[in-house]
């Protein structure tokens, strides 16, 4: 059962489900409860119900807090993916080509993982810009202080560091504000 995308607040969610599934029902949200009530009262012949997939069985075991056999290397969950969990930085296991889990239990689809990685590198780039801006500010102070003490060579060294940091911050800022990235986060941390 999938909500009718034409009446959904976020149509992309049911549209994605419709691309991935062949649902029995595509309904407005207001009609789903009635249909669910009817469907849950129907009798089902257990002999014709397909066995659950390996992935569904594992997800159920994880949900029920049973042992999932998570050894290093190849375990019951799958191979190590080489990716890290955006939530805990643990190694992700590839349960199937588009499903990942970490040791702690965070679960990711490939799309969600890609979105989380994009957000993480955007935050990292903005943090780099902020750090470079602070380096410029501190470098200018130190250059002025060195000049006031009569240390022109040290002042020149600080000024070169300032120019380098300004240049790097400018490159990052131009990239980040060129519309390639959503927007600067309010808080970076």
Given this model, what pLDDT does residue 76 score? 64
Query: How far apart are the C-alpha atoms of 112 and 45, rounded to whole Å?
Result: 36
**All structural domains of the chain with their residue ranges:** 2-48, 54-105, 113-180
- Read off the pLDDT of residues 34-76 as tens digits, 9 standing for 90 and up: 999 999 999 988 888 888 887 777 777 777 765 555 544 445 6
Quote the pTM value.
Answer: 0.54
pLDDT, tens digit (0-9, with 9 covering 90-100), for 85-136: 998 888 898 888 888 988 777 889 899 999 888 888 888 999 999 999 999 9
State the sign of the Cα–Cα–Cα–Cα dihedral 66, 71, 74, 78.
Answer: positive
Binning pLDDT at 50, 70 and 90, where does residue 188 land?
very low
Residue 158 CB-density burial (10 A; 0-12 exposed, 13-18 middle, 19+ buried): buried
């Amino acid at each position: 059962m999938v909500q009718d995308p034409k009446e959904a607040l976020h149509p992309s969610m049911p549209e994605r489900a419709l691309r991935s599934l062949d649902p029995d029902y595509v309904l407005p949200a207001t009609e789903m409860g009635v249909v669910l009530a009817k469907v849950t009262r129907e009798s089902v012949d257990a002999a014709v119900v397909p066995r659950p997939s390996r992935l569904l069985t594992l997800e159920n075991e994880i949900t029920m807090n049973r042992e999932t056999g998570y050894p290093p290397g190849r375990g019951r969950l799958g191979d190590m993916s080489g990716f890290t969990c955006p939530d805990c930085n643990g190694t992700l296991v590839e349960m199937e080509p588009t499903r990942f889990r970490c040791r702690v239990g965070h679960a990711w689809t490939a799309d969600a993982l890609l979105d989380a990685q994009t957000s993480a590198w955007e935050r990292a780039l903005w943090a780099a810009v902020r750090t470079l801006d602070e380096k410029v500010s501190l470098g200018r102070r130190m250059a002025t202080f060195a000049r006031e003490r009569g240390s022109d060579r040290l002042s020149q060294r600080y000024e070169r560091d300032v120019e380098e940091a300004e240049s790097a911050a400018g490159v990052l800022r131009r990239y980040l504000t060129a519309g390639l990235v959503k927007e600067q986060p309010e808080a970076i941390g």
